Amino acid sequence: MITSDDLIALVRSYNPKTNAKMLADAFVYGAAMHEGQFRHSGEPYFTHPVAVAYILAEQQMDDATLITALLHDTIEDTGTTYAEVEKRFSKEIAELVDGVTKLTNLQLNSSETKQAENFRKLFMATSRDLRVTLVKLADRLHNMRTIKSMREEKQAQKARETMDIYAPLAGRMGMQWMREELEDLAFRVLNPEGRNSIIRRFITLQRETGDVVEKIQTDMEHEMDKAGLAVDIYGRAKKPYSIWRKMQEKEQGFSRLSDIYGFRIITQTEAECYAALGAIHQRWFAVPGRFKDYISQPKSNGYRSLHTTVSGRDGKRVEVQIRTVEMHEVAEAGVAAHWSYREGVRVENRFAVDPARWIAQLTERLDEDHDHGEFLDMVKLEMYQDQVFCFTPKGDVIKLPRGATPIDFAYAIHTRIGAACVGAKIDGLRVPLWTRVKNGQSVEVITAEGQTPQATWIDIAVTGRAKTAIRKALREEDRERFIRLGRELVRVSFENVGKNPTDKALKTAGKSLGLGNVDDLLERVGAAEITSREVVTAVYPGLAKSAGNEIDARRAVIGLAADQTHRRAQCCQPIPGERIVGITYRGQGVVVHAIDCDVLATLEDQPERWIDLNWQEGTHSADNTITLEMTITNDAGVLGRICTMIGENDANISDLQFIDRKPDYYRLLIEVDLRDIEHMHIIMTALEADSNVASIQRHRDPDRAGQVQRQS
């Protein structure tokens, strides 16, 4: 086990001014709190917090972070409290330990909706103090290193969680070494045979070709000496999971993969980076399209480096990364570079970019009412995508995920620009909005006043920012449309009972129906989630029409046995006045079909199920729903006038659905509650006479044969 002296010695190697006494006190206190607790492996539990602290000390973290690591499970798993930690150490450490405890309690392996909410909480916690997340990542790394002691199902759960959440998060924080190790440890659990096959092939390749890495590294050192450059060169074969992923992405076998070796050249100055690049390209052939300059265009997490792929010894492709010592610190440590020490003194690395800004920007864009699925999509897009760099006509740089489109570019500039986008030019040429932008291209967004986001843009956009803004705009547009429609439906229903839909009346109805305000009420009516009749009843329950001489719906059909119930078929929606027939269904009673229903043809060979039925004579209640299919002109007020006409003829609209939208017309389905066939003819005649109604017909859907509606 790592002792207190071991940990303090490591910390002193980079920070001679460390508070060794406080570190030792935290070590003793943590050991005492976890006394008698054991890990699945049988080891004392405190070996885990110590190992987490040691991982962070290797990253040269500050004292507060290391003490937090030693105590990170005390509030959750022992008898200590926030107040006790604050009293013994400091408020800063107590808050950090409490933050890690809250992250630990997030159930990240639950349902997607819960997972999305946990992502939100994780990012919110991270934006307050990044050290909380650093401790949690080190905690996960040690747990993955010792995962074999867990049950198999628990191993698989933790490995999937690591692959989906913690490894990408480490990468986004710039800690690429940790991302690679977490991925490989998870890969070992999730696909051990795949990982072993990669390792076996490496061994075979090394047996056949010798130590290729050492040979190529020697060649590179020779070229650097010729160029007069004093550099450090490191070479290695890529991690098994990295190779496996390339095989899956490129759909190639191991033998066809060429860039499985990577080399890093570390220089003293930025100018030497470009000089080293020139020496490499003079000696070996550069692979077209594989050069990236992340020095002039850094990644959003501060990463800077030159990337190139060359055809090296024996034609083997190798990836080469060239950067300075400071750039290398950021590339290796990521966010931990904020706490880096050099020669025993805390220094600020000028290339380190605080990822908290990225996380804060992400959380700021999240309204509390956003759909959880949308948020999860956005987070994954933000975390997983590589980047391309494009230019505005003025030369400003816009960073986008690989595969982004001009729509993403427009929203990256400003939400207003994105919403008004009608076209784009790339390098001066007009292109479709679904075009994928590439590194170095100049993009010009063409806007038009009055333009609004289109639903098809959701499938075109790639960035979370664009998708969220588009969905929000579409929701707002739908809401306004539903409110207008709902207001018209409510007006007609209130007038049918001789009342006015005043704001006070609607507020009363909204309160009765458990809705927040009038607009929410009208939106629900317009979206057919509640009926306008329910709104009237909520305010004036005494005005419901008396049944009077109306026929009881339960006895509306003649020909049934005393113990038989009936339901109207939804495929043909029969109504009083039409010839009907009944079809018996085991356990479902009798389903009533119109005699001309297409579905009956499929039942001709089962005459024993047929029952001759008739409608009762008399006045039926207006509870018989039929569907009308209409084509109307896309002019202001047309839809409202149609709703008014239906209401004026004593019918209620129970649902409305647009099935086609064009600039000059709409096609829609309207479900109307009627008394009988005569009532239907009156309404259809009135609607057909309107000059803005191009066509109207009764809509029947044989596919709904399995759906039935109880007569009520």
State pLDDT tens for residues 382-409.
Answer: 554 456 778 888 877 787 877 899 999 9
Residue 696 and residue 684 in contact, taking contact as beta carbons nearer than 8 Å: yes
Tell me if residue 516 falls in helix, strand or coil: coil
Whether the per-residue pLDDT at 125 is higher than 70: the answer is: no
- Look up the CATH number of domain 624-710: 3.30.70.260
Query: Tokens 């992340």 appear where?
Result: 294
Question: Cα-flanking dihedrals φ and ψ of residue 225, to 5°?
Answer: -65, -40
pTM higher than 0.75 for the full model? no
Q: How far apart are CA 356 and CA 622, in angstroms?
A: 61
Lowest mean pLDDT among 91-100, 185-194, 370-379, 567-576: 370-379
pLDDT of residue 368: 45
Neighbours of 702 (CB within 10 A): 12
Find the mean pLDDT for residues 7-17. 89
State pLDDT tens for residues 274-319.
Answer: 999 999 999 888 887 778 888 888 876 678 899 998 886 666 778 8
Which of 48-57, 91-100, 606-615, 670-679 tops mean pLDDT?
Answer: 48-57
Could you write out the DSSP letters of every residue in 265-331? EEESSHHHHHHHHHHHHHHSEEPTT--EETTTS--TT----EEEEEE-GGG-EEEEEEEEHHHHHHH
| Position 354, amino acid | D
Q: Which stretch of DSSP H or E encloses residue 157?
A: helix 152-161
Q: Work out the burial of residue 200: count CB atoms within 10 Å of its CB; fewer than 13 is exposed, 13-18 middle, 19 or more buried.
A: exposed
Domain ranges of the chain: 4-190, 195-346, 472-543, 553-615, 624-710
Q: How far apart are CA 212 and CA 201, in angstroms?
A: 14
Sequence-ordered list of residues with C-beta below 8 angstroms from that of 620, at least 6 positions apart, any chain? 550, 551, 553, 556, 576, 675, 676
With CA atoms as reference, report the closest residue to 109 among 181, 148, 165: 165
Whether the per-residue pLDDT at 656 is higher than 90: the answer is: no
Residue 74 and residue 98 in contact, taking contact as beta carbons nearer than 8 Å: no
Q: How far apart are CA 700 and CA 702, in angstroms?
A: 7
Residue 59 and residue 94 in contact, taking contact as beta carbons nearer than 8 Å: no
| Position 196, amino acid | N
User: Which strand ranges, in their side-by-side order, compose the sheet holding 652-661?
Assistant: 652-661, 665-674, 624-633, 693-699
State the pLDDT confidence band at 120, using cuts at 50, 70 and 90. Answer: low
Whether the per-residue pLDDT at 415 is higher than 60: the answer is: yes
The CA-atom distances, in angstroms, between 643 and each of 287, 422, 491, 499, 653 are 66, 34, 10, 17, 8
Find the mean pLDDT for residues 516-531. 81
State the pLDDT confidence band at 546, using cuts at 50, 70 and 90. Answer: very low
State pLDDT tens for residues 319-349.
Answer: 899 999 888 888 877 766 666 665 556 556 6
Find the mean pLDDT for residues 198-205. 77
Quote the tokens at residue 563: 């113990």
Query: Tokens 């729903």 appear where?
Result: 625
Q: How far apart are CA 139 and CA 611, in angstroms?
A: 72
Q: How far apart are CA 30 and CA 77, in angstroms?
A: 11
Residue 615 and residue 556 in contact, taking contact as beta carbons nearer than 8 Å: yes
Alpha-helix runs per DSSP H in 569-676: 638-648
State pLDDT tens for residues 466-511.
Answer: 888 888 888 777 788 788 888 888 887 787 777 888 888 888 888 8
> In terms of DSSP bridges, do strands 652-661 and 624-633 run parallel, antiparallel, or are they unpaired?
unpaired
Residue 73 and residue 49 in contact, taking contact as beta carbons nearer than 8 Å: yes
The CA-atom distances, in angstroms, between 109 and each of 112, 114, 157, 159, 490 are 9, 9, 7, 11, 45
Find the mean pLDDT for residues 216-232. 92
Quote the tokens at residue 647: 């209401």
pLDDT of residue 378: 54
The two domains 4-190 and 624-710 share their CATH topology (first three levels equal): no
Whether the per-residue pLDDT at 29 is higher than 90: the answer is: yes
Residue 94 and residue 82 in contact, taking contact as beta carbons nearer than 8 Å: yes
Q: How far apart are CA 689 and CA 693, in angstroms?
A: 8
Q: How far apart are CA 677 and CA 275, in angstroms?
A: 88
Give me the residues paired with residue 590 across strands: 566, 584
High-pLDDT (> 70) share of the chain, %: 83
Whether the per-residue pLDDT at 185 is higher than 90: the answer is: yes
pLDDT of residue 507: 86
Query: Tokens 């909204």 appear where?
Result: 510
pLDDT of residue 493: 79
Whether the per-residue pLDDT at 377 is higher than 70: the answer is: no
Find the mean pLDDT for residues 8-14. 89
Residue 330 and residue 305 in contact, taking contact as beta carbons nearer than 8 Å: no
Q: How long is the chain?
A: 712
Q: Which CATH number fits domain 4-190: 3.40.50.1000, 3.30.450.40, 3.60.150.10, 1.10.3210.10?
A: 1.10.3210.10
Quote the tokens at residue 421: 């986008």
Q: How far apart are CA 654 and CA 670, in angstroms?
A: 8
State the pLDDT confidence band at 258, using cuts at 50, 70 and 90. Answer: low
Tell me if residue 66 falls in helix, strand or coil: helix
| CATH superfamily ID and name for 195-346 | Beta Polymerase, domain 2 (3.30.460.10)
> In terms of DSSP bridges, do strands 566-569 and 589-594 run parallel, antiparallel, or are they unpaired?
parallel
The CA-atom distances, in angstroms, between 362 and each of 122, 391, 401, 410, 680 are 12, 23, 15, 18, 54
Q: How far apart are CA 159 and CA 179, in angstroms?
A: 13
- List the end-to-end C-alpha distance of the chain, in Å, as a whole number: 76
Higher local confidence (pLDDT), 106 or 679: 679
Q: How far apart are CA 348 and CA 344, in angstroms?
A: 13
| Position 36, amino acid | G
Q: Any idea which residues carry the catalytic annotation?
A: 76-77
Rg (CA), the chain: 35
Whether the per-residue pLDDT at 103 is higher than 50: the answer is: yes
With CA atoms as reference, report the closest residue to 425 among 403, 412, 410: 410
State pLDDT tens for residues 551-591.
Answer: 767 778 888 887 788 888 888 999 998 989 999 887 668 89
Residue 140 and residue 169 in contact, taking contact as beta carbons nearer than 8 Å: no
Find the mean pLDDT for residues 105-123. 54
With CA atoms as reference, report the closest residue to 84 among 102, 100, 101, 97: 97
Q: How much is the mean pLDDT over the chain?
A: 81
- According to the 3-state scheme, what is the secondary structure of 165-207? HHHHHHHHCCCHHHHHHHHHHHHHHHCHHHHHHHHHHHHHHHH
Alpha-helix runs per DSSP H in 561-688: 638-648, 677-688
Handedness of CA 260, 265, 266, 272 (dihedral sign): negative
Sequence-ordered list of residues with C-beta below 8 angstroms from that of 325, at least 6 positions apart, any chain? 266, 267, 268
